[in-house]
Amino acid sequence: MGGTGLENLILQDARTETITTPYGVVTVDIGHFGGQNAPLVFMSRHGKGHTLPPHLVNYRANIWALQELGVRKIIATAAVGSLASRLQLGDIVLMDQFLDFTKSRPHTFYEGGEQGVLHVDMTEPYCKSLQAVIRVAGEAVGVPLEEGATYVCTEGPRFETPAEIRMYQMLGGECVGMTSVPEVVLAKECGMCYATIGMITNEAAGIADHPLTHEEVIVSMKATGKTVAQLIQETFRI
């Protein structure tokens, strides 16, 4: 699942497939990656050409489509701002927990009625076994990883105020982004193994000594994107 800056992963023999879900239509690329036999499904979270802002991403359609295709494990990428001094620009981070500050997104497949009710367990939102493989891949390709991070998910599309960032810091947030929730929750509802590789693209508002721009995030992502693609390739190989 490619986030900002990873809207494309170069697949071999790729075909584009359109999947109709109860929540909308989703397009993915399916092909081979890094010379492996098993097929890889690549989905661009924000749509091709980054046309959907985080609060309008059709998270339910995306996860439903992946499940329909038989996907069992999702490696998600996410551009994030840092709230913690241990997380520096360009660092690659594995998420461990989240704090949910989203406001207006459908959060579940289980809305009562025919779908029933589900209170999904969130003790371990991000998949430990997949993270273990990513860790081994990181060691193999010499990409250092920061681990155990708490992701604050905001509604966006605006960036945060410095006061909000101070509040998130007090609550234990270490990096901030706009997309992990409800994506990780919906994947969990489907019983899928989901891990997020975060890329620190900026210091959060008020920590940075300048106003934030989306361009800054894109420029940082371009610098780190290749390393992340390499990390994903090795993870997939293992």
* Positions in the binding site for ligand HPA (CB under 6 A): 79-81, 154, 159-160, 176-178, 201-202, 204, 212, 217
Dist. CA 128–CA 91, nearest whole Å: 20
Pick 21 or 97: Cβ nearer ligand HPA = 97
Minimum distance, C-beta of residue 134 to ligand HPA, in the bound complex (Å)? 20
Minimum distance, C-beta of residue 117 to ligand HPA, in the bound complex (Å)? 31
Minimum distance, C-beta of residue 154 to ligand HPA, in the bound complex (Å)? 6
Pick 214 or 226: Cβ nearer ligand HPA = 214
Give the count of beta carbons closer than 10 Å to the beta carbon of residue 43. 22
Residues facing 101 on adjacent strands? 154
Minimum distance, C-beta of residue 68 to ligand HPA, in the bound complex (Å)? 29
Pick 202 or 233: Cβ nearer ligand HPA = 202
Pick 133 or 225: Cβ nearer ligand HPA = 225
Dist. CA 204–CA 225, nearest whole Å: 20
Dist. CA 22–CA 237, nearest whole Å: 33
Give the count of beta carbons closer than 10 Å to the beta carbon of residue 140. 13
Pick 44 or 202: Cβ nearer ligand HPA = 202
* Alpha-carbon dihedral angle through residues 66, 67, 72, 76, given to the nearest 10 degrees: 40
Q: DSSP letter string over 4-24?
A: TT-S----EEEEEEEEEETTE
Pick 5 or 28: Cβ nearer ligand HPA = 5
Residues facing 27 on adjacent strands? 18
Paired tokens of 147: 């681990």
Pick 29 or 160: Cβ nearer ligand HPA = 160
Minimum distance, C-beta of residue 88 to ligand HPA, in the bound complex (Å)? 14
User: Where are the alpha helices (H) located in 29-153, listed in sequence order?
Assistant: 59-68, 128-141
Residues facing 176 on adjacent strands? 81, 152
Report the residue closest to ligand HPA, judged by CB: 81
Give the count of beta carbons closer than 10 Å to the beta carbon of residue 21. 17
Minimum distance, C-beta of residue 142 to ligand HPA, in the bound complex (Å)? 25
Minimum distance, C-beta of residue 91 to ligand HPA, in the bound complex (Å)? 13
Residues facing 76 on adjacent strands? 196
